[in-house]
Amino acid sequence: MLFAIIEVSLVYFRAIVVEGAVREATRLIRTGQAQGSGDAASLFETTMCDNLLDVVSCGDLAVSVDAASDFLNLTVQPLFDENGEPINQGFQPGTGSETVIARVGFAWTFLTPLVGELLVADGTNVIRITSTTVFRNEPF
Burial (CB count within 10 angstroms: exposed 0-12, middle 13-18, buried 19+), residue 62: buried
pLDDT of residue 67: 97
Share of the chain above pLDDT 90, in %: 81
pLDDT score recorded for residue 95: 96
Lowest mean pLDDT among 32-41, 58-67, 107-116: 107-116
pLDDT band at 112 (very low <50, low <70, confident <90, very high): confident
Question: Which band of pLDDT confidence, cut at 50, 70 and 90, is reported for residue 42?
Answer: very high
Give the integer Cα–Cα distance in Å for 70 and 36.
Answer: 21
CA 59/CA 45 separation, integer angstroms:
10
Separation of CA 67 from chain center: 16
Range of the domain at 75: 2-136
Quick check: 123 pLDDT over 90? no
Domain total in the chain:
1
Residue 50, CA atoms < 13 Å, CB-side half-sphere = 8
pLDDT at 98: 98
Q: Which pLDDT score is estimated for 58?
A: 94
